[in-house]
Amino acid sequence: MVTVLITGGTGLVGKFLNKKLSSKGFHVRVLTRNPKKENEYSWDIHQNHIDEKVFKNLDYIIHLAGSGIANKRWTTKRKQEIIDSRTKSTQLLFEKIATNKIALQGFISASAIGYYGAISSEKIFTESDTPATDFLGNVCQQWEAATLQFESLGIPTTILRIGIVLSKTGGALAKMKMPIITPIATGKQYMPWIHIEDLTNLFTKAIEDNNFTGIYNVVAPDQQTNKSFSKLLAQKTRKIYVPIGVPAFLLKLVFGKMSILLTTGSRISSAKIKKTGYQFSFKKLEDVLEDLI
């Protein structure tokens, strides 16, 4: 039986992925700060601690752990927490794997389309583009650099740069389903999205397909602006759509610098994923909303 360890396994994506892998016959273990179930093991990156029983007969690690990028205002302290939760957790895993000479069959890590920065541009970003120099770009660059160390151990490594995750429970969609739906700021910013079914399918593909290594943008091929997304959401939920956008300055007053997550966004290419032969279960936003709503 193939054994897979998921960090961040109690979060939105981790829970879905745990169910999917278990249903396919994989033996799933979860690293969490507060283990409660039989397949959960403790870790604490601040204490450099991992319950080493979790590494016994381990085949793959899927690394999802990281403090929520939009959970709190971006104070100097919070920014450092966001970086450390990603880089220090990855470094701890690397050191444990290297020290104990664990022959992993693969290390698969989340990253984010924030790699390309919090900007609105007509450019369509591909995996070969350089990282942005803003906060989000720096977070993702450091995160990925820590992940790529696994290649030095001869471990096949896959990085998925994830867009906005759409699901029935939690995530961005739940926050958008308001009684009155409006665009944000100009509404011209793009919202690269991915259905959680496709996201978990791609993590699974990284285990099942030995050739699925390297870095990939994980976004659906359908390019939607905030305005077009909002209109379609209002239509599908039968809510009132008001075309006047929430002013950017008001969002900055409420959320601080974090408001750029809402007011900026560029198009991201999914061409590299499609070249692997992967067939998206949900290519169009309309189909996603039909499924989730």
Question: Cα–Cα distances in Å, from 30 out to 4, 17, 81?
Answer: 8, 11, 22
40: Cα separation from own chain's centroid: 21
Is residue 12 a contact partner of residue 169, using CB atoms and an 8 Å limit?
A: yes
Q: Which residues contact 101 (CB under 8 A, 6 or more apart)?
A: none
pLDDT of residue 259: 83
Residue 28 pLDDT greater than 80, yes or no: yes
Could you read off the pLDDT of 62-73 as tens digits, one per residue?
999 999 998 889
Q: What is the pTM of this model?
A: 0.94
Secondary structure tally for the chain: helices H, strands E: 10, 14
- 108-157 pLDDT per residue, tens: 999 999 999 999 988 999 999 999 999 999 999 999 999 999 999 999 99
Counting Cβ atoms within 10 Å, is residue 68 exposed (0-12), middle (13-18) or buried (19+)? exposed
State percent of the chain over pLDDT 90: 77
pLDDT tens digits for range 266-292: 999 999 999 999 999 999 999 999 998
Write down all domains in the chain, each with its CATH number in brackets: 3-292 (3.40.50.720)
Q: How many Cα atoms occupy the beta-carbon half-sphere of 55 within 13 Å?
A: 17
Q: Mean pLDDT over all residues of the chain?
A: 93
Distance between CA 37 and CA 41 in Å, rounded? 8
What does the pLDDT read at residue 178?
77
**Tokens 């989000």 map to which residue?**
136
